[in-house]
């Protein structure tokens, strides 16, 4: 971040946190938040396989083959890859691409190969935002499309109702999800029980469908028509979308509750429902038009539509909340500018609201619904971002296993290589849907990647330019402390540099001709751990003549409150009195130039991002009536 932010993303501080509550309660909560996305996949996955852009014949070979592919995809990708192995890769309890990247960097140090890994981690984060747009659109639209099975004449209401639901969902985000969140687990648990019962009813009428558990049916399908099977994988992968949430939401619920919820509730319910839909299609091939809803009798379809819609809202809520958390992590790690973050709960630190992210997602989701108009069309756009993220996660897992866990290279190559092969095949299959809508999440991912890398590179370059012109702090203290008039107050100068004089301090002395009695050079350092314990929060270094250097350590999931942290310090000249402490910030105006560093267009983009970043005063929770901003120009 820039000099006035006083923030740097290097360094480490110890710390940890974990979810609180009984394992059973956490498992029920996880069934709602963590599994909302993958739990609503039955609404559209089977339908897309048989009537989507690459439809299959609704006969015994293709039904058995598709169900075998779904079962083994869930088993290998979710149960083995994510639940068994990737959940082991926790960064002080937290998961997700950025947390995994920070864990590898902290354990391996800055080496040549880590730069490429950083780019992959940023790419995974960019692709996540593409996924975060499509999930609410395809989930809600597929649920509301169930009205078409209730009766004729409902078709024209599907899109308007979907838009109303989505607008309402995004509109309530600022109020927080604490109260609604208590209902997520029980409602989704009831939903999983209902879809399991529907599956059991259909399977009992045609139990032969269980032969599809045999992987030989998948091989028979592939051998029968390799090209069609390859294309079908682009729809089969819809059954595992949401697997990344298992890892990303680990910090909210913990590894054990997530594993228990998957193995004993979600996985069995999904399998029963998928095989129930297949059993129905074996008996009634025409049911492929919408097998999820047609499993229920006519009298129960409207209640099922309502329940499924509620479930998709919950799934969408989980993805939106995840987008807020990823945005916060990216800000703390110096990948995007400061944005306003509101905490919506006094008890749960993870419940946050990012206004810009929320409304950007809302606009893009509505554009998707209006532009694609059906869940089948959206399903064509779905999958590329998800499988791309999965592939990158598998690659990063391999690096972690070798560099951090010290596993034997041959074992890692066999295990992770197998995961990457499967993810790569899924990704390649989804690339065939590029012109059917798959370009959209890739475009959003490319835009997000450009913003993330431009901000990180521009911030680093600007700090270098500022350091080039800075005066050593020891020289400044010797020359200025004795000659300048001192006033009996405290001045806190925010700086990202570990050495040198902040520009605001030089400008204050130049224009006001005074120095405060106590001068603090304050740096906020974001460690590559989720949270930092309070006892490790601050580092104080006396510099002499009333000057002090203070470093405040935070994790990338911590809330930063500078005045509160200073108020707990008594080791640098006494307590900080709020009405006798002033905060000085440097505000840089960038001058675009042809100096080596970045392309001109990226310099303009970085300058625009810097101008639109949230004020450092709000980001650091500084008192509005005690802040002084002094500007300077920087040529990059």
Q: How many residues does the chain have?
A: 636
Question: CA–CA separation, 388 vs 126, rounded Å?
Answer: 10
- Going by their DSSP bridges, the two strands 514-526 and 485-494 should be labelled as parallel
| pLDDT for residue 475 | 85
Confidence of residue 426 (pLDDT cuts 50, 70, 90): very high
pLDDT in tens, 28-58: 877 777 888 899 999 999 999 999 888 999 9
Q: Which of 272-276, 284-288, 463-467, 532-536 has the lowest mean pLDDT?
A: 463-467
- Domains of the chain and CATH, by start: 34-437 (1.20.1740.10), 464-635 (no CATH)
DSSP letters spanning 372-426: H-SHHHHHHHSSHHHHHHHHHHHHHHHHHHHHTS---HHHHHHHHHHHHHHHHHH
Q: What does the alpha-carbon distance between residue 456 and residue 337 come to, in Å, rounded to a whole number? A: 9
Q: Any alpha helices (H) in 469-573, and if so which ranges?
A: 473-480, 503-512, 562-567
Q: Which residues face 553 on adjacent strands?
A: 525
CA distance linking residue 193 with residue 153, whole number of Å: 30
The pTM for the full model equals 0.79
DSSP state of 502: -
Please choose, from the candidates 242, 287, 61, 290, the residue with its C-alpha nearest in 3D space to the C-alpha of residue 136.
Answer: 242
Query: What's the confidence (pLDDT) of residue 192?
Result: 95
With H, G, I as helix, E, B as strand and everything else as coil, classify residue 16: coil
Q: What is the mean pLDDT of the chain?
A: 85
Q: What is the mean pLDDT of residues 208-231?
A: 95
Residues with Cβ within 8 Å of residue 121, at least 6 apart in sequence: 97, 98, 100, 101, 392, 396
Q: Are 428 and 462 in contact (CB under 8 A)?
A: no
Res 181 pLDDT > 70: no
Reading the block at residue 336, the tokens are 């995007």
Backbone phi, psi, residue 122, to 5°: -65, -40
User: What's the mean pLDDT in 257-264?
Assistant: 91
More confident residue, 591 or 396: 396
Task: Tell whether the model's pLDDT for residue 501 goes beyond 80.
Answer: yes
Work out the percent of the chain whose per-residue pLDDT is above 90.
37
Q: Are strands 352-354 and 341-343 parallel, antiparallel or unpaired?
A: antiparallel
| pLDDT for res 76 | 95
User: pLDDT at position 221, please?
Assistant: 95
Tens-place pLDDT, residues 438-451: 888 889 889 999 99
Per-residue DSSP letter, 469: T
Position 617 scores a pLDDT of: 86
Q: Element (H or E) spanning 196, and its range?
A: helix 178-205
Are 4 and 494 in contact by the 8 Å Cβ rule? The answer is yes
DSSP readout, 95-126? -SHHHHHHHHHHHH-S-HHHHHHHHHHHHHHH
Q: What is the mean pLDDT of residues 101-107?
A: 79
């Amino acid at each position: 971040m820039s000099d006035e932010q006083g923030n740097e993303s290097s360094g480490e501080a110890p710390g940890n946190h974990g979810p609180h509550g009984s394992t059973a309660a956490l498992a029920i909560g996880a069934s709602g938040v963590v599994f909302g996305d993958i739990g609503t996949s039955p609404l559209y996955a089977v339908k897309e396989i048989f009537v989507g852009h690459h439809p299959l014949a609704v006969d015994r070979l293709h039904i058995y083959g598709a169900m075998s592919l779904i079962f083994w995809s869930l088993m290998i990708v979710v149960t083995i890859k994510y639940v068994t192995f990737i959940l082991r890769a926790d960064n002080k309890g937290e998961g997700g691409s950025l947390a995994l990247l920070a864990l590898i960097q902290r354990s391996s140090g800055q080496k040549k190969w880590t730069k490429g890994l950083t780019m992959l981690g940023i790419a995974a984060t960019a692709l996540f935002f593409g996924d975060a747009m499509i999930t609410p659109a395809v989930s809600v639209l597929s649920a509301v499309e169930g009205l078409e099975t209730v009766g004729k004449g409902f078709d024209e209401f599907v899109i308007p109702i979907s838009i109303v639901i989505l607008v309402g969902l995004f509109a309530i985000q600022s109020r927080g999800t604490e109260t609604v969140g208590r209902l997520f687990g029980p409602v989704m648990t009831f939903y999983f029980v209902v879809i399991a019962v529907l599956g059991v009813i259909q399977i009992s009428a045609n139990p032969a469908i269980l032969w599809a558990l045999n992987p030989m049916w998948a091989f028979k399908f592939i051998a029968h028509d390799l090209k069609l099977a390859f294309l079908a994988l682009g729809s089969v992968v819809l059954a595992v979308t949401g697997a990344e949430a298992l890892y990303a939401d680990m910090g909210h619920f913990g590894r054990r509750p997530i594993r228990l919820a998957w193995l004993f509730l979600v996985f069995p319910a999904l399998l029963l429902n998928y095989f129930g839909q297949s059993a129905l299609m074996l008996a009634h091939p025409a049911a492929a038009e919408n097998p999820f809803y047609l499993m229920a009798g006519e009298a129960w379809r409207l209640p099922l539509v309502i329940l499924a819609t509620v479930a998709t809202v919950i799934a969408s809520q989980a993805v939106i909340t995840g987008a807020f958390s990823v945005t916060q992590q990216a800000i703390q790690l110096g990948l995007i500018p400061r944005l306003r973050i509101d905490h919506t709960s006094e008890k749960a630190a993870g419940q946050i609201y990012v206004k810009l992210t929320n409304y950007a997602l809302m606009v893009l989701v509505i554009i998707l619904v209006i532009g694609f108009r059906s869940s089948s069309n959206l399903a064509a756009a779905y999958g590329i971002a998800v499988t791309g993220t999965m592939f990158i996660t598998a690659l990063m897992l391999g690096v972690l296993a070798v560099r951090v866990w010290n596993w034997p290279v041959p074992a890692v190559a066999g295990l992770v290589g197998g995961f990457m092969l499967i993810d790569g095949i899924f990704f390649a299959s989804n690339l065939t849907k590029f012109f059917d809508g798959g370009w959209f999440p890739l475009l959003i991912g490319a835009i997000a990647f450009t913003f993330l890398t431009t901000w990180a590179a521009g911030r680093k370059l600007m700090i270098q330019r500022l350091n080039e012109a800075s005066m050593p702090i020891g020289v400044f203290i010797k020359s200025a402390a004795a000659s300048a008039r001192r006033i009996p107050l405290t001045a806190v100068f925010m700086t990202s540099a570990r050495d040198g004089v902040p520009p605001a301090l030089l400008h204050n002395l130049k224009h006001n001709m005074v120095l405060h009695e106590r001068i603090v050079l304050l740096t906020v350092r974001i460690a590559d751990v989720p949270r930092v314990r309070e006892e490790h929060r601050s580092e104080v270094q006396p510099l002499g003549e009333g000057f002090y250097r203070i470093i405040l350590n935070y994790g990338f999931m911590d809330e930063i409150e500078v005045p509160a942290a200073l108020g707990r310090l008594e080791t640098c000249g006494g307590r900080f009195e709020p009405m006798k402490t002033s905060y000085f910030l440097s505000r840089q105006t960038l001058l675009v130039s042809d100096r080596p560093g970045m392309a001109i267009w990226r310099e303009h983009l970085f300058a625009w991002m810097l101008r639109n970043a949230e004020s450092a005063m709000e980001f650091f929770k500084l008192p509005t009536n005690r802040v002084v901003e002094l500007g300077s120009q920087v040529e990059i």
